[in-house]
Amino acid sequence: MMTLILLVVFLAVGGLVWLHGLWGAGLTLVNLLMAMLIATNLFEPVCTLIDGFDRSYRYLTDFVVLWFLFFFTFGILRFITDSLSRTRVKFDMPIEMAGRTILAIWCGWLMVSFTAFSLLFAPLNSESPLGAWASPQDGSFLGMAPERHWLGFVHSRSRGALARGKFSSEPSHPDDAAANVEAFDPQGDFLVRQHQKRVEYANAEAMRVP
Residue 46 lies in a domain: yes
**pLDDT score at 205:** 63
Identify the pLDDT of residue 168: 67
Q: What backbone phi and psi angles, to 5 degrees, belong to 181? A: -120, 160
Q: Give the pLDDT of residue 61.
A: 92
Examine residue 207 and state whether it is found in any structural domain, yes or no. Answer: no
In-domain check, residue 122: yes
Domain that holds residue 7: 2-202
Is residue 79 in some structural domain?
yes
Domain count for the chain, please give it.
1
Structure pTM? Answer: 0.90
Distance CA 10, CA 1 (A): 14
Residue 208, in any domain of the structure: no
pLDDT at 162: 76
For position 185, what pLDDT does the model report? 85
Please answer whether residues 121 and 62 qualify as being in contact, where contact means their C-beta atoms are separated by less than 8 angstroms: yes
Residue 158 lies in a domain: yes
Average pLDDT of the chain? 88
Is residue 91 in a domain? yes
Provide the pLDDT for residue 175: 65
Regions in the chain scoring below 70 on pLDDT:
166, 168-180, 205-210
- Specify if 210 maps to a domain: no
Percent of the chain with pLDDT over 70: 90
- pLDDT for 177 equals 63
Q: What is the pLDDT of residue 120?
A: 93
